[in-house]
Amino acid sequence: MIENIIVGAGLSGATLARKLADKGDKVLVIEKREHIGGNTYDYIDTKTGIRLSKYGAHIFHTNSEVVWSFVNQFSEWNMYKHKVLSYVNGKHVPVPVNITTVNELFDLKISNISEMQSWLKENQVKGEINNSKDSALAKVGQELYELMFENYTIKQWDLNPSELEASVLERIPVRDTFNDRYFSDKYEALPSNGYTEFVKNILDHKNITVELNTEYNNSIHKSNKLFFTGKIDSYFADKFGKLEYRSLNFNYKTYDIEDYQPAAVVNYPSLEYPFTRKIDYKKFYNTKSKYSIIAEEFSSSIGEEYYPVPTKKNRDIYSKYQAEAKKLEKNNIYFVGRLAEYKYFNMDQAILSALELFDKIYKK
């Protein structure tokens, strides 16, 4: 019997596979899709030379030295500074909210930190923070909340921010400066040859075998240890009920335009637009082409799973699965990753979670 089976060849699965393989274990990775990389899967469009991500834009960012040093073993990285603009009242304004956002939308002339802090203080809504609405109001106040966050969130989650755990809108900070970078982590980068190549390099080891187009089946797939990175509710045949996931759909359009929009990502928070954002793919790798490929991003409850939905209801269901999963550890069955841990992980968190699980098992 093979020592390890890993279900799923996304970031968590690939990271664990590599750690186990480096330790000398044989690993079989089974993946139901026809490709590795999970939702980071990318490829180059042959007509334009533009790199596209099948499942939406992925920008790697981390503060973790451990993760950064791990990922650097498998790819060169292009330093990248992600910027997002939001299309509000006919203007492109920075997200996260900064001094420029407030000046543009309210026709003000705030010029320094202390003026911005006063503006925020006057507008921020104080009170207990129980959900994403509270957290956004506490950061940016009622007007910006309505203009930039409320309807975007309704489109993305099909829920009012008041129904979502605070953590969702806490992802977006507010800045009292002119800083217009989306992320504030120490490292922010894109793999020089793309994510697919990066994950391929992680899995490129004599002890690792990858089988694509293969559904996990517990009567066929026997191993001493099992690492499951798929949906935790599916593993348990939905016995405590189905967990909700949000999916995304993309409408790709190729334009004969060199510079389509003023940032790689432009958000559309208004309900006038059915999509949440437009991604201008050539901007990530600065690809020279006379064309632009734009993906309009639509959120949906149907389709492949992208996001766990952080509500109290799902949290409660998940804790039942989690307790069940914990019991299986004595049989060497482990659950790891965004779908198996039902957490809105960024890529670095998915990798870190896999590294930590490995350490928990082998470095006791």
**CA of 252: how far to CAs of 35, 148, 295, in Å?**
20, 24, 4
**Region near ligand UDP per CB under 6 A, out of 63-71, 148-156, 282-290, 326-334:** 148-156
Nearer CB in complex with ligand UDP: 86/196: 86
Output 247 or 332, the one with its CB closest to ligand UDP. Answer: 247
Which residues from 67-106 bind ligand UDP, rule CB under 6 A?
86, 95
Q: Does residue 148 belong to the site contacting ligand UDP (CB under 6 A)? A: yes
Confirm or reject binding of residue 353 to ligand UDP (CB under 6 A): no
> Judged by CB, which is closer to ligand UDP: 6, or 351?
351
Contact status: 284 vs ligand UDP (CB under 6 A):
no
For ligand UDP, give the closer residue by CB, 6 or 348. 348
295 near ligand UDP, rule: CB under 6 A: no
User: CB 269 → ligand UDP: shortest distance, Å?
Assistant: 5
Q: For ligand UDP, give the closer residue by CB, 71 or 140.
A: 140
Residue 347 touching ligand UDP (CB under 6 A): no
Gap between the Cα atoms of 263 and 358, Å rounded = 39
- Residue 189 binds ligand UDP (CB under 6 A): no
Beta-carbon contacts of 31 under 8 Å, excluding residues fewer than 6 positions away, are: 8, 9, 13, 210, 211, 212, 213, 214
CB of 337 to ligand UDP, least distance (A): 15
- State which of residues 15, 267, 292, 314 lies at the interface with ligand UDP (CB under 6 A): 267
Instruction: Please identify, among the stretches 20-28, 145-153, 195-203, 350-358, the one whose residues bind ligand UDP according to the rule CB under 6 A.
Output: 145-153
- Estimate the crossing angle of helix 195-203 against helix 11-22, to 10 degrees: 30
- Which two structure tokens, joined as six digits, stand for 186? 């120490």
- Residues near 131 by beta carbon (within 8 Å), at least 6 away in sequence: 161, 162, 163, 164, 165, 166
What letter would DSSP give residue 126?
A: P
* Cα separation values, 352 from 328, 347, 349, Å: 21, 9, 5
Instruction: Using DSSP bridges, classify how beta strands 2-7 and 27-30 pair: parallel, antiparallel or unpaired.
Output: parallel
Q: Which of 272, 314, 275, 319 is nearest to 294 (CA)?
A: 275
| Binding of ligand UDP by 194 (CB under 6 A) | no
Decide: is 292 part of the binding site for ligand UDP (CB under 6 A): no
Pull the structure tokens for residue 110: 């705030």
Give the span between the Cα atoms of 190 and 76, in whole angstroms: 9
In the complex with ligand UDP, which residue's Cβ is closer, 295 or 325?
295
List interacting residues with ligand UDP (CB under 6 A). 86, 95, 148-149, 152-153, 156, 168-169, 171-172, 267, 269
